[in-house]
Each structure stands twice: as structure tokens, then as C-alpha cells.
Amino acid sequence: MNALEQLKQMTVVVADTGDLEAIRQYQPQDCTTNPSLILKAAGLSGYAHLLDEARALGDVEAAIDQLTVRIGTELTRLVPGYVSTEVDARLSFDADAMVHKARHLIALYAEQGVGRERILIKLATTWEGVQAARILEAEGIRCNLTLVFSQEQAVAAAQAGAYLISPFVGRITDWYKKHTGTADYAPDQDPGVQSVRGIYRHFKTHGYPTVVMGASFRSAAQVRALAGCDRLTVSPALLGELAADTAPLERALTPVPATATEPTLTEADFRWALAANPMANEKLAEGIRGFHEDTEKLRALLRAQA
């Protein structure tokens, strides 16, 4: 078996793309999208008719939601599991607005015949995003807490009952390379890999059922170093590398029995932990800005072609 086939035996493989052809080729269980991937997908010929449908609405905000859901609907026809759909990054510090937008997206999916059991609503892991997830999960709307760069973010999401978290491997590594001058890391010393391994072990040891899904990979070596994680969301380019690799793949992470509990993380604890962690603080803010910038590009695209 190639490395991708071996990985699928120990980890749920998720495609980090909206590219229909890539999903058909690599046959992941789930797929994830975000504003950057929706913008990229909007430029693919296979989605041209969806752009036309969205533009016909005449309202850019409605068009963005419609396009996002229509792309997500197409993806649900190709994967048997979940499709993650992200809430507008501008809402990342307004819990009520995130809840309202999530309900609206779920309603749009219902209009397309897609039930909420197929969708994960992606929320930035701000304190407000965590509180929005608490409300949505209680309503049966499952959430993917994204832009996770610290254990405290992960724990807050788990304690709120989030179905899944997405700790970002590559962006953590990028920060440490920039701030330490290190050109490269061996997989076992990679700060991004170590962060996800730590979160995974913490969750298993403390009995949190929240799914850990490593994301934002820069290399196939990083993916290999997290084999055995609950889920891994991987770009088509790296899925291709793994599919072409026939070397044995060793399991890096294995579940362990729960042996500990911990107190509930307070808002003050959460905010202080972010303030005290320059990497997590910077990368969370940068990620929110980046997704907002790509949403603005999509708005401009829809206005220009209206």
C-alpha cells in the first residue's frame, strides 16, 4: 500500500480543498473549506454556474452565503462524511452574530436537501467562538473550532462540547522558523507537530471526546509525524505525495485511557493564556485577518461580475 492508503487505516483523511477533481481522485472521508479555499474554488471552471447563480441574487452578502453553501453541497455528493463550512471571519468576536450566521447557513443547506448531520460549522477559536459553539452544539449543530494554536484554545473548545478542533501545524512551524531563524525542523522536533501531539495526548488523557484534526500542513513529513491522529485535513498536493510514496508508515499517535480531569477554563484564563503566548496570539489574529481578506476578494469578484 502507498502511504495514503496506510494513513487511511489509522486516521480519517480529510481533503483540505474545494477542488472536485482532487476529491474524486483521493476519495477522502470528509472535506474542509474556508474563505481562502472558497475563493480559489470560485475560479475553477466546474463552479462557473454556481457563480452565475450567486450573482443573480443581486446582493453580495447573500451571494457569498449562497455560493459557499452551493459549493459545500457539491462536496457532500463526493464525500460520505462531513463538509466544514466557515462563518464570516468578521464575526469572530461576536458570539450572537456567529450563532445567527451558523443557523442561516444550516437553513440554506436544508434548502439544498443537505441535513445538518453532514455539515460542520467552522468558527475561529476566540472566546466568543467557543461560546457560539456551546450554543450551537446544544441545538444539534456540530462545530469545527479552527485556528487553534494553543492547548488552552483546544481545552476551551472541548469543554464547550465542540465536535472537532483544527490545530494548525504549518502556521505554528512558520512562526518558529521566523522567530528562531531555524531553517527546518526534523518531524519529531517540529513545533507544529509537537503542539498537535500534545493536544491529542491531553484530550485522550482527560477523556475529552472532541475530535482532534491536524490541519495546515507544509510537508508530507508533518502528516506522517501525526499518523494516528483522529483526523488530518490535507491539501491535494500533499495527498498526491503520500499516494506516490510506498515507504512504510508508522503510527505516531495511539489513544490512551482517560486518567485525569481538570477544572473548567474561565474566560480570564483563556484570554491570559493567549496574551502570554505570542505565537498563538499573533497567528490567531493573522488567520482571522487572512480569511477576512479573502472574503473581501470574493466580494469584489462578485461585484465586478454582477
Mind listing the pLDDT tens digit of every residue in the chain (306 residues)? 999 999 999 999 999 999 999 999 999 999 999 999 999 988 888 888 888 888 889 899 999 999 999 999 999 999 999 999 999 999 999 999 999 999 999 999 999 999 999 999 999 999 999 999 999 999 999 999 999 999 999 999 999 999 999 999 999 999 999 999 999 999 999 999 999 999 999 999 999 999 999 999 999 999 999 999 999 999 999 999 999 999 999 999 999 999 999 999 999 999 999 999 999 999 999 999 999 999 999 999 888 755
Active site residue 297: no
**Alpha carbon separation from 181 to 175, 202, 258 (Å, rounded):** 10, 29, 38
Closest residue by Cα to residue 71 from 101, 40, 87, 50: 50
Q: Exactly one of 8, 40, 122, 297 is catalytic; which is it?
A: 122
3-state secondary structure of 39: helix
Q: Is the pTM of this model over 0.95?
A: yes
> Cα(227)–Cα(12) distance, rounded to whole angstroms?
10
Residue 212 one-letter amino acid? V
User: The domain 3-304 belongs to what CATH superfamily?
Assistant: Aldolase class I (3.20.20.70)
CB atoms within 10 A of CB 150: 24
Dist. CA 22–CA 4, nearest whole Å: 14
- Domain regions of the chain by residue span: 3-304
Separation of alpha carbons 260 and 203, rounded Å? 10
Q: In this predicted structure, what is the pLDDT of residue 43?
A: 85
Question: Is residue 147 classed exposed, middle or buried when 0-12, 13-18 and 19+ CB atoms within 10 A define those classes?
Answer: buried
At 305 the pLDDT is: 58
Whether 82 and 120 have beta carbons less than 8 Å apart is answered as: yes
